[in-house]
A and B are shown apart, each in its own frame.
Chain A
Amino acid sequence: MLDNKIETMDRKDLEELQLKKLQATVTRLYNGVTFYKNHMDAMGLKPEHIKSLKDVANLPFTTKEDFRDTYPYGLCSVPKSEVVRIQSSSGTTGKPIVSCYTKNDLDLWANSVARGLSGIGVTNDDTVQVAFGYGLFTGGLGLHDGAQKLGCTVIPTSSGNTRKQLMLMMDLKTTTLVCTPSYALIIAETAKELGIDLTQSSLKYGMFGAEPWSTNMRTDIENKLGIKAYNIYGLTEMQGPGVAVECTAKAGMHIWEDYFYPEIINPETGEVLPEGSVGELVLTNIAREAQPVLRYRTHDITSITYEKCACGRTHARIAQINGRSDDMIKVKGVKVFPSQIESILLTVPGVEPQYQIVVDRRDGFVCDNIEVRVEVGEAAFTDRMAGLVEIKNKLNAALQSALGIKVDIKLVEPHTISRFEGKSKRIVNRSELGE
């Protein structure tokens, strides 16, 4: 454990620490950021009204739109001279999200990633290949700084150029791979094409994130790469990866509660839900200097537990992200998340986790029907038509029984579904495909 005292802190002490940090943060934001002052004044709320952690529920939410409206520096609470780094998330529409960091913020960020790496067994003897994109995206530099802080040998390959990744991985004896889970699968595919058996390589650990993935996909990656694979969670708005990280117990991701205050809310009403309920994760920065964010609506669907973990850590754990409330689609009244479909597909033997959901969108997330495209790889292919029809029927039956609605399955040729080296895009509109 990197920081035994903090990571195993008694919950009562941890909550006292959180309250102090929260109060200081709210006071600073009220006095230094017009956006928060205006919101709190409109609600008749003063910093001194925050007397317990429960009072967080009275604070205003911050949304992605607020970041856009205040772009670029409207949420920054320190003089520009103290900002040493800018990161940004890939906005697909409108202005990007901008995140500012002081020197201490970068240190805190590196620390949260280093705690996570240490928690899965990585030490300064390990060689960490960071195949997340470098640049404005927080994945590359975030993991880089964290691994470096732990004293690891860091190979900053960034994403892409998979053959070169593999060459360096074999020659430099990489022990730890860091990237998106879908890129881990591309690496596995390419290794197979090149006749490289990764299960016999030096690889031991994988830390994957930036997109939701299922338990079945984890098993698939672990088998193909011969590693133990763990989850890392984060978002640019709050800092980047490292907000929450899985430990060897694989029983949820620890949110570093001395840095973040988590809540689970009902995404429709905004009401705070009790421990164990599934809802939208809302996060508050309580240790950040440049740009602390109050009650950020992550749109990520999960649940939270405060029970002490088998690993000894006391920090709360969130379950693997179930999907995003804005990735959710509603088909014939039924809520469907891509991650659900993925885990169902992988229960059918021979089916590869390369899939895409094609929707005929009617209005917002409401769809009339969905078509799931699945690539036919060697393991699923047979020379008998009956064999292929059987796979299609099995997929149909599995999806129908799990989701409760009929889904169209389409078997497609390998490599026809786009691969993503960054975040994968599982849902596409039929109109985007030009069909």
Chain B
Amino acid sequence: MKIKQISVFAENKPGRLMEILKVIEAEKINLSAISVAETDEFGIVRMVMNNTDAGAAALKAAGFTVRVDDLICATAPDVEGGLLNSIIKPLAAEGINIDYFYTYLDKAPGLAQIVIKCDDVDKAEKILA
């Protein structure tokens, strides 16, 4: 299924991630997943949260550069080859290119949630449905 991800531009220096998370906490928003991509100067903080609109508005108001994208969220069983067989192989077979992904544990035991950014979100959604 499709989910919304919030990305925030952050300089790579102490305290920036804290400032972002403080804004989220103040809005009483819960994060489901977070991933940080970094270079030596700056990073992109990517987050999935339970209230995307409020989170994005609060971060913008706090002066951050923010964008919201559609990503795919799929489930993989927490077993050997789970990610490979349930997600990566089917997407590769259809020629879908993955830009990045990150993972978090599902509330149901034995499952992992995979958040995927790829070049064709609609097609990937159908493949993994």
Residues of A within 8 A of B (CB): 376-378, 381-386, 388-389, 410-416
| Minimum C-beta distance from B63 to chain A (A) | 5
Bound complex: CA A133 to CA B69 (Å) = 43
A383, B69: Cβ atoms closer than 8 Å:
yes
Please choose the segment from B22-30, B41-49, B86-94, B106-114 that sits at the chain A interface, where 4 or more of its residues have CB less than 8 A away: B41-49
8 Å CB contacts to A: which residues of B98-116?
Answer: 99-100
A377, B65: Cβ atoms closer than 8 Å:
yes
A414, B64: Cβ atoms closer than 8 Å:
yes
Contact of B117 among A381, A383, A413, A415 (CB under 8 A): A383
Contact of B11 with A by CB under 8 A: yes
| Contacting residues, chain A, for B63 (C-beta < 8 A) | 413-415
| Contacting residues, chain B, for A377 (C-beta < 8 A) | 65
Query: Which of A386, A410, A414 gathers most chain B CB within 10 Å?
Result: A414
Q: Mark B3-16, 1 if CB is under 8 A from A, else 0.
A: 00101011100001
What are 13 A-B pairs with beta-carbon distances under 8 A? A381-B7, A381-B66, A383-B46, A385-B100, A388-B42, A412-B11, A412-B42, A413-B9, A413-B63, A413-B65, A414-B63, A414-B64, A415-B63
Q: List 4 extra interface pairs beyond A382-B7, A384-B100, A413-B9, CB under 8 A.
A: A376-B42, A388-B42, A411-B42, A413-B16
Contact of B123 with A by CB under 8 A: no
Evaluate whether A376 and B9 lie within 8 angstroms (CB atoms) in the complex, with A383-B67, A385-B44 already known: yes
| Minimum C-beta distance from B101 to chain A (A) | 12
| Contacting residues, chain B, for A414 (C-beta < 8 A) | 9, 63-65
| Contacting residues, chain B, for A412 (C-beta < 8 A) | 11, 42
Enumerate the 4 nearest inter-chain pairs by beta-carbon distance, A residue then B residue, closest first: A383-B7, A381-B65, A415-B63, A385-B37
Evaluate whether A413 and B39 lie within 8 angstroms (CB atoms) in the complex, with A383-B7, A383-B117, A384-B99 already known: no
Evaluate whether A376 and B117 lie within 8 angstroms (CB atoms) in the complex, with A383-B46, A384-B99, A389-B39 already known: no
A383, B5: Cβ atoms closer than 8 Å:
yes
Q: Chain B residue with minimal CB distance to A380?
A: B65
Q: Chain B residue with minimal CB distance to A389?
A: B39
Bound complex: CA A413 to CA B9 (Å) = 7
Dominant SS among interface residues on chain A:
loop
| Minimum C-beta distance from B79 to chain A (A) | 30
A378, B66: Cβ atoms closer than 8 Å:
yes
Q: How many A-B residue pairs have CB under 8 A?
A: 54
Query: Which of A376, A383, A385, A411 gathers most chain B CB within 10 Å?
Result: A383
Bound complex: CA A384 to CA B119 (Å) = 11
Bound complex: CA A107 to CA B11 (Å) = 52
Contact of B39 among A382, A383, A385 (CB under 8 A): A385
Evaluate whether A378 and B67 lie within 8 angstroms (CB atoms) in the complex, with A385-B39, A412-B11, A413-B10 already known: yes
| Minimum C-beta distance from A191 to chain B (A) | 16
| Minimum C-beta distance from A375 to chain B (A) | 8
A378, B65: Cβ atoms closer than 8 Å:
yes
Bound complex: CA A411 to CA B117 (Å) = 23
| Minimum C-beta distance from B102 to chain A (A) | 12
| Contacting residues, chain A, for B11 (C-beta < 8 A) | 412-413, 416
B67, A376: Cβ atoms closer than 8 Å:
no
Contact of B44 among A378, A383, A415 (CB under 8 A): A383
Bound complex: CA A415 to CA B65 (Å) = 10
Bound complex: CA A210 to CA B10 (Å) = 33
B39, A381: Cβ atoms closer than 8 Å:
no
| Contacting residues, chain A, for B66 (C-beta < 8 A) | 378, 381
Q: Chain A residue with minimal CB distance to B37?
A: A385
| Minimum C-beta distance from A358 to chain B (A) | 13
Q: Chain A residue with minimal CB distance to B63?
A: A415
Bound complex: CA A386 to CA B63 (Å) = 23
Q: Chain A residue with minimal CB distance to B38?
A: A385
| Minimum C-beta distance from A189 to chain B (A) | 11
Q: Chain A residue with minimal CB distance to B117?
A: A383
| Minimum C-beta distance from B13 to chain A (A) | 10
Bound complex: CA A385 to CA B9 (Å) = 10
| Minimum C-beta distance from A408 to chain B (A) | 10
| Minimum C-beta distance from A195 to chain B (A) | 12
| Minimum C-beta distance from B27 to chain A (A) | 19
B117, A384: Cβ atoms closer than 8 Å:
yes
Evaluate whether A410 and B41 lie within 8 angstroms (CB atoms) in the complex, with A378-B66, A382-B67 already known: yes
| Minimum C-beta distance from A353 to chain B (A) | 16
Bound complex: CA A413 to CA B13 (Å) = 11
Q: Chain A residue with minimal CB distance to B11?
A: A413
| Contacting residues, chain A, for B39 (C-beta < 8 A) | 385, 388-389
| Minimum C-beta distance from B112 to chain A (A) | 21
| Minimum C-beta distance from B14 to chain A (A) | 14
Q: Chain A residue with minimal CB distance to B45?
A: A383
Evaluate whether A376 and B37 lie within 8 angstroms (CB atoms) in the complex, with A384-B99, A385-B44, A412-B11 already known: no
Evaluate whether A376 and B5 lie within 8 angstroms (CB atoms) in the complex, with A383-B46, A385-B44, A410-B41 already known: no
Bound complex: CA A410 to CA B39 (Å) = 11
| Contacting residues, chain A, for B69 (C-beta < 8 A) | 383
Evaluate whether A381 and B42 lie within 8 angstroms (CB atoms) in the complex, with A376-B9, A412-B11, A413-B9 already known: no
